[in-house]
A and B are shown apart, each in its own frame.
Chain A
Amino acid sequence: METKNIMIVGVGGQGSLLASKLLGQLLISRGYDVKVSEVHGMSQRGGSVVTYVRYGDRVSSPVIDKGEADFIVSFEELEAARWLEYLRPGGQIVTSTQQIDPMPVITGAAVYPEGLIEKMRAAGARVDALDCLSLAREAGSAKAVNIVLMGRLSHYFDLPEEAWMAALEAVVPAKFLALNKKAFALGKNA
């Protein structure tokens, strides 16, 4: 099988590392070769962050390059737009509609662009946008946005629900499992 590419993008501190851990666990349990690449350190302090997840029969590079991503999973609209050129033609964006002003917007040096989802669609991307923050709160914690997004992403995968649940159980502490299962289901069925 040809290598598949999933990018997880967002703002430092939003929980993308747990999402990539879940995907990594899921895909390795399915017998794939898997590479997950993260960046730690300075850029995590509220900056733009990206995690690459690649799987297939044989995965070489740990990163995803421009024009290669089958999926971009985004915690935030501006970040989805920032990484758009990494999407392959016909690729799918799954994004939360949350908007977080970056410092240049806060200080007035730049403006947060409007209508990004329509603009990404106009550029040819398939975009699945949903209010993950509200769904996460409905599940019991604003921090569960990552799992809501994973639930939504599962929609596009031909994998049994049990495999996702087993991966979830492997990466989430037991006391938060029920909450996260609910978040996953809310994302999946939204």
Chain B
Amino acid sequence: MRKLMLGNAAAARGLYEAGCAVVSSYPGTPSTEITEELAKFEEVYCEWAPNEKVAMETAFGASLAGRRSFCGMKHVGLNVAADPLFTISYTGVNAGMVIAVADDPGMHSSQNEQDSRHYALAAKVPMLEPADSAEALAFAKAAYEISERFDVPVFLKMCTRIAHSQSPVIPGEREEVPLRPYEKNIAKYVMMPGNAIRRHPVVEARTRALIAFAETTALNRVEPGTDHSMGIVTSSTCYQYVKEVCGDRYPVFKLGMIWPMPEQALRTFAASVEKLVVVEELDPFIETHLRVLGLDPVGKSLFPLEGEFSQNLVAEKLGMAREQGVKLAEAIPGRPPVMCAGCPHRGLFYTLNRNKCTVLGDIGCYTLGAVAPLSAIEMTACMGASVSGIHGFNKALGGQSEGRTVAVIGDSTFMHSGMTGLANIAYNQSNSTVIILDNSITGMTGHQQNPTTGYNIKGDPAGKIDLESLCRAMGIRRVRVVDPYDLAACDQAVKEELAAPEPSVIISRRPCALLKYVKHKAPLRVNPDKCVGCKQCMRIGCPAVSIKEGKARVDETLCVGCGVCAQLCRMDALESTEKEG
């Protein structure tokens, strides 16, 4: 039966139907739902790993043991997993292994706009790129066949508009795949120089075989057109924009396998049209391949390198501009994302702002600590960079920075890549203060469990890493816990740990206000007789607090009664609406 399905859910469905048995991933928008959907199938073992490198190595281990395996990640997660990737390409697999990587053109929820297709080329690993949910399902299944036929892990490359768009699919049945028995093979699986040197030619021969496969596979297709003055080579969402604008007018070479690309088939297509145009988001990946083939396509000389495309953009660039809508003359105030009302990070960032700390930040909801009026965070690069970064910062400036600089990192991000940075602080002894914002969940990606929460991906009890013990075991003697709803305690902790002449960790602990089990207090209310309109309560940037007609006002539909604003009010004007008795 035809069903509307999210691209990520359809990919999960395809992996499931293909007999996928072991899944290990780290969440990251826009890839997260693939693994969340797989976790709903009883036949599939599914887990959140501490990071993408661990996830990929786990999936590799399962493949080696003989079960079809999967790991999923966002584009920047693949940077973390790049180390195993390049060598698993040499060893090859036993049972099929599929790696989903989801790019985020337009950076809806990412720190950069990198183009993951380069990894396929660099690691010599084939990459399939679906253009809707039905293809996500079909390509996930095809990926396992290619993986086992060519003895190679296979990428399933998603992007935001494929991952987070729903379109019709027809789900099928799961095919149970027999175990492929593991066999000891030191020459194939032990990548020390003497063996690896013999594997490299195998990889190159495999690529030649994959190019031959690309010439004829149904994953790539030519759609005929009526007007041969132009022919378009494209893939993924760009294919959809091209079809939206041009319909069936121009011939289209739609690539479903983005690496390796065919050679002869593309030459034949180019020869059939007067002008060859490449429509692709981000880097000129297809275009460069065509140039290597000696063709002369129009690509990035016409289309931008940055951002998402759309039908209007493609129409304009192809000289088919369309009618646009009307705008209001007046400026519409922006609505940037903000920390939620009751967010436990807010009190801590207020404290850091008050103490004029230099704050090196990390990846998560708390990156919003950089936004006015808190404006606390001064650097965010990648997972874990706050902890490693503060060590370098303090080694460079010594006493000038040690007493005023902190790193902030979430619980999940700390487990992902913060621990190793802390090991460096403990080992090479920089007088650094690291604050772990422990909200007991992986927040930004939509509440995934992690090694510190005590629950697994299915919500069942699991191992639980104790952050205090971990930090102490690594050699940090000063480890303390504060409640970020208690501003006085936060202030004292930050002052004392910055003053201490040795490395320290502050764990700012309170569960995310959006977690279902968190009980909220009654909303606060402003007593208009006491409020003098001094705006002290506005300094925390809570979306539930505003000033109307000279007095503070609390939006009762948003307020969760955390009471942080009340601690700033000198007139005691913010009162609880909790019923007495």
Contacts and interface: CB of A to CB of B under 8 A. Distances in A.
A85 B327 contact: yes
B338 A37 contact: no
A8 interface: no
Closest 6 CB pairs of A and B: A41-B109, A41-B29, A47-B337, A110-B333, A62-B165, A102-B335
B333 A85 contact: no
Given A35-B132, A78-B332, A104-B336, 6 more contacts: A13-B340, A36-B166, A61-B237, A62-B240, A63-B310, A85-B324
Contacts of A84: 325-328
A141 B475 CA distance: 52
Contacts of A67: 312, 322-325
Contacts of A1: none
Interface residues of B, number: 59
A71 interface: no
12 contacts: A33-B167, A36-B165, A39-B109, A39-B164, A40-B30, A42-B337, A45-B368, A60-B241, A67-B322, A104-B334, A109-B372, A123-B326
A119 B332 CA distance: 12
A107 interface: yes
B339 to A, nearest CB: 7
A107 B240 contact: no
A120 to B, nearest CB: 7
- Quick one: which of A41, A78, A82 has the most chain B CB within 10 A? A41
B423 interface: no
Interface string B308-326: 0011100000000011111
B165 A86 contact: no
A101 interface: yes
Interface stretch (B182-190, B349-357, B538-546): B538-546
A38 B164 contact: yes
- Which size class do A's interface residues fall under? 35 or more
B333 A45 contact: no
A85 B326 contact: yes
A85 B161 contact: no
A107 B333 contact: no
B-side interface mostly: loop
A28 interface: yes
Nearest to A46: B338
A160 interface: no
Given A40-B446, A43-B109, A60-B241, A66 B325 contact: yes
Given A61-B244, A106-B545, A47 B335 contact: yes
- Quick one: which of A38, A47, A103, A120 has the most chain B CB within 10 A? A103
Interface of B: 2-4, 29-30, 32-33, 108-109, 132, 160-162, 164-168, 237, 240-241, 243-244, 310-312, 322-328, 330-340, 365, 368, 371-373, 444-446, 538, 541, 543, 545-547, 557
Interface string A40-54: 111111111000000
Contacts, number: 186
A128 to B, nearest CB: 18
A43 to B, nearest CB: 5
A6 interface: no
Given A42-B29, A67-B322, A61 B241 contact: yes
A71 to B, nearest CB: 13
A69 B330 CA distance: 21
Contact of B167 (A34, A104, A107): A34
B161 A63 contact: yes
Nearest to B545: A106
Contacts of A24: 4, 166
A36 B325 contact: no
A165 B185 CA distance: 61
A39 B30 CA distance: 9
Given A41-B109, A67-B325, A33 B168 contact: yes
A78 B333 contact: yes
A87 B324 CA distance: 9
A4 interface: no
B373 A107 contact: yes
Given A41-B109, A65-B312, A124-B326, A34 B546 contact: no
B436 to A, nearest CB: 20
Contacts of A103: 335-336, 338, 371-372, 541, 543
